[in-house]
């Protein structure tokens, strides 16, 4: 018997969460945190 398709909006929150977790990839070796260089004009005592 063929399973009937149920739209994602009509599924339970638990099923929606499981669906999105399955579809979501990982970052791999990339770090999602935004990086920026330190301010070169700022005064630091450890130079």
In which band, very low, low, confident or very high, does the pLDDT at 9 lie, cut at 50, 70 and 90? very high
Over 70: is that where the pLDDT of 1 sits? yes
Q: What pTM was estimated for this model as a whole?
A: 0.50
Over 90: is that where the pLDDT of 13 sits? yes
Q: Which residue has better confidence, 46 or 19?
A: 19
Structure confidence by residue, pLDDT tens digits, 17-38: 999 999 988 888 888 888 888 8
CB 19 within 8 A of CB 8: yes
CB 8 within 8 A of CB 16: yes
Sequence-ordered alpha helix ranges (H) in 1-47: 13-23
């Amino acid at each position: 018997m063929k399973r009937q398709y149920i739209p994602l909006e009509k599924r339970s929150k638990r099923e929606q969460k499981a669906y999105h977790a399955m579809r979501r990839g990982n970052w791999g070796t990339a770090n999602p945190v935004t990086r920026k260089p330190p301010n070169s004009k700022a005064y630091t005592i450890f130079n």
